[in-house]
Amino acid sequence: YMDEVYAYGTFFTGADQYGTGGLLTDKTYMLSTTWNAPASAFEDETQFFEGNSLDEALQHLHRIHKFLGMKPLKSFSCYDVVKNPNIKQYIANLEQHLKEALTNEPVAK
């Protein structure tokens, strides 16, 4: 995917240390995801994600952006969207998340 979408020399270049040649160092990104899984699936070590956080579950996507030199903003997610959808709450949560994320510095990774 990266070879098809992210052009060498535009988004990244070669570097002495692998993964450090990103050219988008002045850019930030935010991952926004929806899950049929409930939030508790990420919090409980006996559940599917074995206690891994949302960002740990999305680590592969964070690595792609890191390769390009980008810095992450706090990720956003809606949970249990099929079994127990709560659209009004999701929208309110997103509005609050955007207010916070867009006024703060990128999170450390």
H helix count then E strand count, the chain: 5, 4
> d(Cα 94, Cα 18) in Å, to the nearest integer?
35
pLDDT higher than threshold 60 for residue 28: yes
Of residues 44 and 106, which shows the higher confidence score? Answer: 44
Domain boundaries in the chain? 2-101
Mean pLDDT of 31-36: 96
Looking from the CA of 93 toward its CB, the CA atoms found within 13 Å total 13
Pairing of strands 71-72, 32-34: unpaired
> d(Cα 96, Cα 91) in Å, to the nearest integer?
9
Integer angstrom CA distances of residue 2 from 12, 77, 84? 10, 24, 35
Give domain 2-101's CATH superfamily.
Flavodoxin domain (3.40.50.360)
pTM summary value: 0.82
